[in-house]
Structure 1
Amino acid sequence: MDIREASGKDIPIILGLLYELGRPKPQKDSDIESFRKLIKKYITDSDKKIILAQLDDTEIIAMVSIIFLPRLNQNSLELYIPELIVRDKFQNQGVGKKLINSCISIGKEKKCHRIRLESGNQRKESHKFYKKLGFEQSGLSFTKNLN
């Protein structure tokens, strides 16, 4: 298994992985193009990365997205993970751990002060996974939909 940064050719696969996580699917063709542009912008932004796990130079089986965030009370960046997705049939095989370890390495290279992520309340197995990797629950997340 190879771990590598995403490129423009990976956009359709990235969209598919996001749908597997339960992210909204496009309702019309213009939405698909809009989502593709968003991912392309994400890939080319120096404050963001998408890292992929690829099996045998062919099949992409997992991804993690990263945003480097400045914080008002820190002199270093925070590495934030909005999405970590491992295809169902490849879960519990060390793929997610490899992606998290890649994030840790990237965070250390960038001299980030911490890695932060969120996980939905219903994702109990994910919570166990993160705790096993040394993450601690450090707060609650609140949202308010504006649509």
Structure 2
Amino acid sequence: MENIDLREATNNDIPIILGLLYELGRPKPETDLDVDSFRKLVKKYITDNDKKIILVQYNETEIIAMVSIIFMTRLNQNSLELYIPELIVREKFQHKGVGKKLINYCISIGREKKCHRIRLESGNRRKESHQFYKKLGFDQSGLSFTISLN
């Protein structure tokens, strides 16, 4: 896909980032206090040196995708792990190479930072995403287990 640029998010992008998260199915705020709390979380993420949010801008104006990155230390490694908590491409821009461009950008960042691996998770129901990641060279290397504390 042409006419796209990748850039790091700024505080001005917070409403767009929240919108993309909601599009992925992340919880939406129920009160104004929740909205403020979510904004503060994204702002903290943007300013944290161990985290990045990369946006894909189409035609110099429209944000169509994003990836969030966390550089994690591991107790059994001398190098960082690049972890991807969210990768979101707006539905009408899927299957056009945008996600691949984001993953390749993450790979280049990981190599630049000398990370030992890139890790991400994908929900069980996202079968198409699983195929996408496998096609890009990712291996399913484990299972994820969660327990809700709410």
User: Is there any run of 5+ residues in structure 1 with no aligned partner, and where?
Assistant: none
Counterparts of residues 12-31 of structure 1 (less than 5 Å): 12-31=15-34
Offset of 1:76 from its aligned partner?
0.1
Structure 2 partner of 1:6: 9
The answer to whether the aligner puts 1:131 opposite 2:148 as a matched pair is no
Counterparts of residues 33-112 of structure 1 (less than 5 Å): 33-112=36-115
Percent sequence identity is 81
Offset of 1:56 from its aligned partner?
1.0
What is the root-mean-square deviation of aligned Cα atoms in Å?
A: 0.3
- Aligned equivalents of 2:34 and 2:60: distance in 1? 30
Secondary structure, counterpart of 2:22 in structure 1 = helix
- Aligned equivalents of 1:53 and 1:129: distance in 2? 18
Offset of 1:95 from its aligned partner?
0.2
- Aligned equivalents of 1:30 and 1:73: distance in 2? 40
- Aligned equivalents of 1:40 and 1:105: distance in 2? 24
Q: How many residues align?
A: 147
Offset of 1:31 from its aligned partner?
0.4
Structure 1 stretches of at least 4 aligned residues deviating more than 4 Å after TM superposition: none
Q: TM-score, normalised by structure 1?
A: 0.99
Q: TM-score, normalised by structure 2?
A: 0.97
The correspondence for 1:140, drawn from 136, 140, 143, is 143
- Aligned equivalents of 2:130 and 2:136: distance in 1? 10
Secondary structure, counterpart of 1:68 in structure 2 = strand
- Aligned equivalents of 1:68 and 1:135: distance in 2? 18
- Aligned equivalents of 1:114 and 1:64: distance in 2? 16
